[in-house]
Structure 1
């Protein structure tokens, strides 16, 4: 059975997709900020406020679809690219690298250093 992805307009009009995106975002904050309750609570509060503000957008409208796509992008970045570090003394840090953390080799990371790319460009890039 082929998987059908929703367009941004379809996602914005599909209540199930919106709620799934909200849960996905909350899970991503839990993964990114495990062990840092202050940051975890602040990020979840921000996610809640953002969704509450956007609930007034017209279902099926382009703005609603863009908002859902943005939230999905934020969740992916939190899950794959945000790594919490804890100071273990002096200049030493213990990083919370987890199974979802995106890993790159030095050559790939070096090519991206100093570049500015949109989320869409990064999302569609192949490494």
Structure 2
């Protein structure tokens, strides 16, 4: 794949990652997309397709790939949900996990790309959560 094709693919990958990570939060979604556009426009003006810029282009492509992975797998949005005092506690629903306090709950939007690790991986001194993701049925959670 040529470098211009790689740049375009990484740009699209970042835009998809922002859509996955910030779905439902229009303000943050648009700010993230603007940040991605701005970064690529800056790269377009600073770098050319000349061989002397290949190393810098490769570094930026690697960075963009890492950012896209981080957005897809590690960003979880929480939404504050108020409830009445006489209601039963909120359980996990079709769209995420709810954590409750006295009068309000946070509903987390976990999707199929979210990295799920367990505490045992952290307690055991592992530095990577690779292979610790729990298998759950995704048909009940929004994508």
What TM-score do you get using the length of structure 2 for normalisation?
A: 0.67
Structure holding more helix per residue: 1
Q: Which has the higher contact order (CA 8 A, sep 6+)?
A: 1
Q: What are structure 2's unaligned runs of at least 5 residues?
A: 83-102, 132-143
Stretches of 4+ aligned residues off by more than 2 angstroms: 109-112
Say which structure is richer in strand.
2
Report the Cα distance in structure 2 between the residues aligned to 1:16 and 1:69, rounded to whole angstroms: 14
Q: When the two structures are aligned, how many residues end up with a matched partner? A: 107
* RMSD of aligned residue pairs (Cα, Å): 2.3
Change (3 A) 1:111 1:83: farther
Structure 1 runs not aligned, ≥5 long: 1-10, 116-121
Q: Is structure 2 residue 112 aligned with structure 1 residue 99?
A: yes
- Higher Cα Rg: structure 1 or 2? 2
What residue in structure 2 maps to residue 53 of structure 1? 42
